[in-house]
Structure 1
Amino acid sequence: MSDSLLNSEQIIHRMREAIGVKNDGLVGEYLGASKQAVYNWKSRGSIPIEYCVKFCVKTGRSLDWLIFGLGDNRVSDEPSVYYADQDYSEVPVYDIEASAGDGSLFDQEVISSYLKFRNDWLAREGLHQKDLVAIRVSGDSMDPTLSDGDTILIDRSRIKPDGVFAIRIGDALRIKRLQKLTDGSLRVSSDNTFYQEEIIRPENLNQVDIVGQCYWRGGRVF
């Protein structure tokens, strides 16, 4: 068994232990995920980081304990107080994947979970809760900057290139590096050199919707 598979099994085991259940499906129910999703986590050896954070917020457990089995397994005797802490703001994680490859379609914009960010960090970074959403990356075209399965924080108030942005072209949601060229065209490129860049001419820019700038990355747990 690989180290990643072993680690995901151990994390789910600690989740069951913490909430006092013996069935993996009940772990998924507790986190708002399907039984199949939990099975997929175990089979591929990774768990989306937002579910680990959500679990720790709900139970008051330490993230170090959950992921690595280190230290005290509790960070608070009153997890509900921690969850309601006014020092934090919640950002919705949408149940859609942004393709860093050929593109994935929007099926529906359903909130699957929430991430919590400290308000003082948001203020230092010049971010505002109302402008923020999080989605998951699908594909490898932004490797090594972004990896398949990463969760990214998007600032919808920042839509002026240059940088890494979430964009919609037709029904496809993509994560790409954008650069505005001197002739008004838009260069759409990948950090993975396997993928060719695209140039969108000024007369076709109305086909592109810049959703927002990719500001923060949360990687997968292996």
Structure 2
Amino acid sequence: MNSEKYNGLEILNRMKEILGLERDKDIAAHFGINPQMIYNWKARGTIPLDQCVQLRSEKGVSLDWLLLGLGDGEVDADYSSQVGDRDYTEVPLYDVEASAGNGSFFSQERVISYIKFRNDWLAREGLHAKDLASIRVSGDSMDGTLSDGDTVLIDCSRKKPDGVFAIRIGDSLRIKRLQTMADGSLRVSSDNALYQPETIHPENFGNIEIVGLCYWRAGRVF
């Protein structure tokens, strides 16, 4: 970008406006980059076009406004039905039972709804929209932590135990507590004491896939 034509600091401020963010590090978290990159943008006075195009795709914001400040930052009509509230990101809620047998839990054909999360909250938590999916809990194996019917937000970028994870064993999607043992094996347990834990040894790791960390839940208050 030509710095005489594009003012990097003004673009950065418009990015903050469209995302509902205030701090440079929150912008860095949204794009999944090191905060030092934001400092470099400001020092150079330019913003990489890739991030501008990403916001165009995510929010439907006019590039004329984002790059040049022309117009009022309105969302293009073609995007208006998809974008929704600019302060929020929509995370797909998947019908995982329907996709359990076809080898792909998270595909567009299996999206049954969307859950909105505030962009500033996602940024503070270090979560990125491209890594997120949500599913509903089925059964009582995680009672005490998760209940039947709860909705769980999964961060698919985090796959290293320990914690509560969505896992695939064969064609079955489960939510279990995972713990790495001293011998390298994986302890797979339920929080409901009625269910016995399993131990998966390294030679059998090919039979299990860690889908992602269960990061947040919503459900009924009992």
TM-score w.r.t. the length of structure 2 is 0.58
Which structure would you say has the larger RCO, counting Cα contacts within 8 Å and 6 or more residues apart? 1
Q: How many residues align?
A: 137
Q: CA deviation at 1:117?
A: 0.3
Match of 1:200 in 2: 200
Q: 1:217 to 1:97 in 2, by over 3 A?
A: farther
- Whole-Å separation in 2 of the counterparts to 1:157 and 1:128: 9
Question: Which consecutive segments of 4 or more residues in structure 1 shift more than 3 A?
Answer: 104-109
Contact in 2 for aligned 1:189/1:197 (Cα 8 Å): yes
Q: 1:218 to 1:97 in 2, by over 3 A?
A: farther
Match of 1:121 in 2: 121
Q: Percent identity?
A: 72
- Whole-Å separation in 2 of the counterparts to 1:210 and 1:143: 21
Q: CA deviation at 1:220?
A: 3.7
Correspondence list, 1:104-183, <5 A: 105-106=100-101, 109=107, 110-183=110-183
Q: CA deviation at 1:221?
A: 7.6
Q: CA deviation at 1:165?
A: 0.0
| 3-state SS in 2 of match to 1:175 | strand
Q: CA deviation at 1:97?
A: 4.5
Q: 1:124 to 1:216 in 2, by over 3 A?
A: same
Match of 1:10 in 2: none
Letter in 2 for 1:170: G
| 3-state SS in 1 of match to 2:204 | helix
| 3-state SS in 2 of match to 1:195 | coil
Q: Deviations over 1:14-37 (max 9, x none)?
A: xxxxxxxxxxxxxxxxxxxxxxxx
- Whole-Å separation in 2 of the counterparts to 1:97 and 1:105: 5
- Whole-Å separation in 2 of the counterparts to 1:105 and 1:95: 9
Q: CA deviation at 1:90?
A: 0.5
- Whole-Å separation in 2 of the counterparts to 1:201 and 1:92: 33
- Whole-Å separation in 2 of the counterparts to 1:105 and 1:92: 17
Correspondence list, 1:82-101, <5 A: 84-97=84-97
Match of 2:191 in 1: 191
- Whole-Å separation in 1 of the counterparts to 2:196 and 2:221: 30
- Whole-Å separation in 2 of the counterparts to 1:96 and 1:146: 17
Letter in 2 for 1:168: R
- Whole-Å separation in 1 of the counterparts to 2:143 and 2:168: 20
Q: Between Structure 1 and Structure 2, whose CA radius of gyration is higher?
A: 2
Correspondence list, 1:64-83, <5 A: none
Q: CA deviation at 1:96?
A: 1.8
Matched, 1:218 2:221: no
Contact in 2 for aligned 1:158/1:213 (Cα 8 Å): yes
Contact in 2 for aligned 1:96/1:106 (Cα 8 Å): no
TM-score w.r.t. the length of structure 1 is 0.58
- Whole-Å separation in 2 of the counterparts to 1:189 and 1:136: 19
Gaps of 5+ in 1: 1-79, 99-103
Contact in 2 for aligned 1:97/1:136 (Cα 8 Å): no
